[in-house]
């Protein structure tokens, strides 16, 4: 209790908490985009439930991993060497997660470009299987993003209570933003393609980091923000054009 009171009275601890919350929220954006796109593939009645389960698992995984911080830190130690390149467990997890993201996003782009492949499937082809598959994929990416999140937290502060508060706060933000983000993506088909492009970029970044190439997150998120701003202008322009056409049709 005394330890917590000392932390609460420390300005440095509050600064570390604020910084870590922002970092965790930013890192959670990648996870949330993936969850939104994946759950939008499910029938309407299952989407909200899948999002809640996916984000709940993200919180559970992060808190569970925080209880094994000493083990998580050791994941950065090299365990194998191939062609002069050392790889830790973290590196291999990032590479595997990045490959999965690139594969998944590329597959979704293919389905968007060739919808006949989806339409040829039976209409009643296993909602339960689709739901289970979605949850499984969300769990896989939750694990990758959770490990990255916890290692980031460990690198920014040594105080476990600060890590826990930051992780819980970031997941709560994800929970609040999940429904509006998923609805926005679902209502704007062009945003889906943009988000899939983001996932490919994020996947390639994870792969690069797994191979030891440091990719400043600022550049990645700046590119995402710029692309999102351009797409927002496109959406606004389409709405203005649609209103003009509707007004001309009423005349």
Q: Please say if the pLDDT value at position 220 is more than 70.
A: yes
Q: Which residues pair with 86 in a beta bridge?
A: 81
Alpha-carbon span 20 to 18, nearest angstrom: 5
Q: Please say if the pLDDT value at position 183 is more than 70.
A: yes
| CB-based contacts of 135, cutoff 8 Å, min separation 6 | 50, 53, 54, 57
Higher pLDDT, 157 or 241: 241
Q: Please say if the pLDDT value at position 136 is more than 60.
A: yes
Q: Please say if the pLDDT value at position 99 is more than 80.
A: yes
Average pLDDT over residues 232-247: 84
CB 33 within 8 A of CB 155: no
**Mean pLDDT lowest among 98-102, 211-215, 247-251:** 247-251
Look at residue 171 in the predicted model and tell me its pLDDT: 81
Look at residue 251 in the predicted model and tell me its pLDDT: 65
- pTM (two decimals): 0.63
Average pLDDT over residues 83-108: 82
Q: Please say if the pLDDT value at position 241 is more than 80.
A: yes
Could you give phi then psi for residue 78, rounded to 5 degrees?
Answer: -60, 140
| CB-based contacts of 200, cutoff 8 Å, min separation 6 | 101, 102, 105, 106
Domain ranges of the chain: 2-215
Q: Please say if the pLDDT value at position 137 is more than 50.
A: yes
Look at residue 122 in the predicted model and tell me its pLDDT: 47
Alpha-carbon span 199 to 101, nearest angstrom: 6
Strands (E), the chain: 78-82, 85-88
Look at residue 61 in the predicted model and tell me its pLDDT: 80
Higher pLDDT, 55 or 122: 55
Look at residue 124 in the predicted model and tell me its pLDDT: 44
Higher pLDDT, 81 or 153: 81
């Amino acid at each position: 209790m005394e330890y917590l009171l000392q932390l609460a009275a420390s300005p440095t601890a509050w600064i570390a908490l604020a910084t870590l919350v922002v970092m965790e929220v930013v890192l959670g954006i990648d996870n949330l985009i993936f969850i939104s796109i994946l759950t939008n593939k499910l029938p309407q009645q299952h989407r909200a439930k899948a999002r809640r389960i996916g984000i709940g698992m993200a919180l559970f995984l992060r808190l569970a991993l925080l209880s094994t911080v000493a083990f998580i830190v050791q994941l950065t130690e090299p365990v194998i060497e191939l062609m002069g390149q050392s790889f830790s467990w973290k590196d291999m997890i990032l590479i595997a997660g990045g490959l999965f993201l690139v594969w998944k996003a590329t597959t979704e782009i293919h389905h968007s470009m060739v919808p006949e492949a989806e339409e040829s499937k039976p209409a009643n082809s296993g909602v339960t299987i689709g739901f289970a598959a979605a949850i499984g994929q969300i769990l896989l990416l939750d694990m990758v993003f959770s490990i990255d999140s916890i290692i980031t937290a460990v690198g920014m502060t040594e105080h476990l209570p600060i890590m826990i508060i930051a992780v819980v706060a970031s997941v709560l933000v994800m929970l609040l933003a999940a429904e509006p983000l998923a609805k926005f993506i679902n209502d704007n088909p062009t945003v889906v393609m943009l988000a899939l492009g983001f996932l490919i970029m994020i996947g390639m970044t994870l792969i690069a980091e797994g191979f030891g190439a440091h990719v400043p997150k600022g550049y990645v998120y700046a590119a995402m923000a710029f692309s999102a701003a351009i797409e927002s202008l496109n959406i606004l322009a389409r709405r203005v054009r649609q209103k003009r056409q509707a007004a001309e049709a009423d005349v």
